[in-house]
Each structure stands twice: as structure tokens, then as C-alpha cells.
Amino acid sequence: MRTLNVLSLTRISAEDRAKIEAVDPAVRLTDAGGWFDGEYRETWPAFSANRYLAPNAAGKGTREERDRLLADAEIILGGWPFPFDLRARAPRLKWFHQRPAGASNLLKGDLWGSDVTVTTSRGAGNTLAIAEYAVAGILHVAKGFYRVAIERDAAAFDARAYRPWLLEGKNVCVVGAGGIGLEVGRLCAALGMRVVGTRRHRRPDQPLPPGFAEVGGADDLDRFLPGSDIVVICCQWTPETTRLFNKDRFAAMKPGSIFVNVARGEIVDEDALADALERGHLRGAALDVYVGEFEHAPMERLWSHPRVLITPHISGASDQDRHGAIELFRDNLRAYINGEALQNVIDWERGY
């Protein structure tokens, strides 16, 4: 019986190890979580290292030992960050699975566009937590909670300045009605909002997801924007969606509407967003992401704006870990062994 070498670059629990090893007796799993932290600190921007690595984390083993781990691996389970030169150091690698959902996480490494099959955890993340964050962001702006900081700094209340919304009856456009977007739509509908959404491709024969009044294709976005009180970005960052929301799209949005982004900052032209806020065209924005979030702080025009809420990509965090990456990896591992098709394979041209 041949040995199937599986290397995890992210720490895994004893329970998750047991799930993976139970797939087949041929699986030999090596947990190298934390081993590469020193390399990440040297090769990734300092902002990323400080954000994602434990203080003083320096990694384990020698460079030669880490190279041997990579060289022996046929399958790698990765997280964030990851070695930029992973493909070059793993000549036997056939399949890489990353625990995060976004394919764009891998753009800076040599896996992108390579001959290795790469899968993501799209649709298997903490989608409910992210959807709840989106609703919280909507409420933050709709109820005028951003006024609290303004009044605290001024040491004076201005009750007339709040102008709170009633969310029932408002129109929401979910851009990217996939795993996260479907949860956003469901929660918004539960609050009495009318929900429409877009997908890259929408088949007319597909039933409407729970809570959605309409789901269109990418070309329907411009039709939805003028009537939407709230726009929530949940789509993948790809060449097609880079700066999807530019000056023209913000101008097309309903005056006084709310903008929420829980996807990737690069989907937004941030200068155009700041302009729309400063001229009063948008009521406010809630952003869990921003352009260059792994390298530097947010744009000052947005971070300092009183009607903008910015957080450091924490929408998926909660007191309950419902991330399904290991279950998805386990199912794909079984399919890999049986010679069957894998789920969530990245299409390099499509971008996810």
C-alpha cells in the first residue's frame, strides 16, 4: 500500500487530525503548523506578520527540514500566511487546499496559475458570523450609531442629528449571492427587507434562495443599484470584480443609501467611495476590508470619516467556530483517493 503524504501548514486539532486520517489508511499526516512562522516574518510585509503571527513566533526546524517537509508532500493543507515559493519547493505537490474561502489570497504566491490543483473553502467558512456582521454594519449606519463617537468627542448630544431608519421595507442588493451572500440575504429578509442579488452566472431554472425576491446575473447589477437602499458586497475578488464599484457605480446608487463590504477591498475604488461619502451621496459605510489590508492601515480619508466603520477583517470571528474547511478537505481527500472530481477547484482564468 502506497503512502499518501499530507502536510498541514496550519495547526490542526487532535479531532481534525483524526477526521483526516480516518479517510484512508494510506494517509500520513504531518502537522507543521507554526514551523514556517519565521519565514513568513522575513518574507511577508511587517503589517501582515504583526496581524497574523503570534508575538515572537520564529518558526521551527531548519530551512533544510522545512524543505524536506515540502518536498515529500503530495497534498498540502494551507492557511494564512503561506510560503510564497511553495510550488518551487514542493516538486511532488499535486493538490493544495487552503482553509480561507477567498482564492485571491493566493495571488502573490507561485501556486497561482501553476499546474497544481488548488481548492478553497468557498462556502464553508463562518458564513453566518460574516452575515451577522453585515447586518450589524447596516444597523450601525441605519440607526446613526456613528454619532456616538462624534458626540463623545464634542461632549454634547445632538438628538436631531440621528435620523434613524426603520429597516423593514428597505431594499437590499447582495452583490455575490454565494455562501456568504445567501446568509446575508436570509437575515435581511428576516428583518423585513426586500432582497435582490447578483451572481456571476444566473440560470433561469434555478429556484430562488430563501429570502430573495430576485437573483440576477452580473449584468443586472446596474439595474438593481438605483432602487437599493443598502448594497452589501460578498463576491470574490477577480479581474472582473476589481474596482467593480467605481465612480459610476457609486453615482448610480440610490441617494442616501448604505454601503457594506465583507468581501475584499480591491473590489472598491476607495477614492470614489470617499468622494461619494464626502458629497453626501451615501448615508454611510461599514467595511471589514480595505485595499492593501495585509500591508498597511486603511486609507486616511475613509478611516477618519465619521460615517465610516472600518474593522480589520474580523467578520468571520465568533465565539463558535463553525468553519467547515476540514470537513470539505476530508470530502475532497476521499474524492482525490478515488480519482473523482474535487469541489471548489480554482479556475485560474475565472479567478476563483
- Residue 342 within a domain: no
Per the structure, the count of domains in the chain is 2
Taking CA atoms, 174 is separated from 126, 140, 209, 291, in Å, by: 18, 18, 12, 20
Q: Which of 83, 65, 68 has its CA nearest to residue 10?
A: 83
Task: Please state the φ and ψ torsions of residue 223, each to the nearest 5 degrees.
Answer: -75, -35
Instruction: Locate 191 and state its grid cell.
Output: 428583518
pLDDT of residue 1: 65
Contact 176, 235 (CB under 8 A): yes
Q: How many residues does the chain have?
A: 352
Statement to judge: residues 146 and 265 lie in one domain: yes
Q: Which domain holds residue 74?
A: 4-124+323-337
Instruction: Locate 243 and state its grid cell.
Output: 474596482
- Residue 316 within a domain: no
Statement to judge: residues 276 and 199 lie in one domain: yes
Instruction: Locate 149 and state its grid cell.
Output: 463617537
Q: Among positive and negative, which fits the CA dihedral 308, 309, 311, 317?
A: negative
Statement to judge: residues 60 and 151 lie in one domain: no
Statement to judge: residues 246 and 332 lie in one domain: no
Statement to judge: residues 167 and 232 lie in one domain: yes
Burial 286-311 (b: 16+ CB within 10 A, else e): bbbbbbebbeeebbeebeebebbbbb
- Residue 349 within a domain: no
- Residue 347 within a domain: no
pLDDT of residue 159: 95
Statement to judge: residues 298 and 328 lie in one domain: no
pLDDT in tens, the chain (352 residues): 689 999 999 999 999 999 999 999 999 999 999 999 999 999 999 999 999 999 989 999 999 999 999 999 999 999 999 999 999 999 999 999 999 988 998 999 999 999 999 999 998 889 999 999 999 999 999 999 999 999 999 999 999 999 999 999 999 999 999 999 999 999 999 999 999 999 988 777 789 999 999 999 999 999 999 999 999 999 999 999 999 999 999 999 999 999 999 999 999 999 999 999 999 999 999 999 999 999 999 999 999 999 999 999 999 999 998 889 999 999 999 999 999 999 999 999 999 9
Contact 346, 133 (CB under 8 A): no
Statement to judge: residues 90 and 163 lie in one domain: no
pLDDT of residue 168: 98
Task: Please state the φ and ψ torsions of residue 75, each to the nearest 5 degrees.
Answer: -135, 135
Contact 6, 75 (CB under 8 A): yes
CATH no. for residue 245? 3.40.50.720
Instruction: Locate 176 and state its grid cell.
Output: 455575490
Statement to judge: residues 87 and 200 lie in one domain: no
Statement to judge: residues 203 and 54 lie in one domain: no
Peptide bond preceding 239 in cis form (omega within 30 of 0):
no
- Residue 344 within a domain: no
Statement to judge: residues 112 and 52 lie in one domain: yes
Question: Cα separation of 345 and 352, whole Å?
Answer: 8
- Residue 165 within a domain: yes
- Residue 163 within a domain: yes
Q: Quick check: helix, strand or coil at residue 126?
A: coil
pLDDT of residue 125: 85
- Residue 350 within a domain: no
pLDDT of residue 2: 83
Statement to judge: residues 298 and 197 lie in one domain: yes
Question: Cα separation of 232 and 175, whole Å?
Answer: 6
Task: Please state the φ and ψ torsions of residue 222, each to the nearest 5 degrees.
Answer: -65, -25
Statement to judge: residues 114 and 156 lie in one domain: no
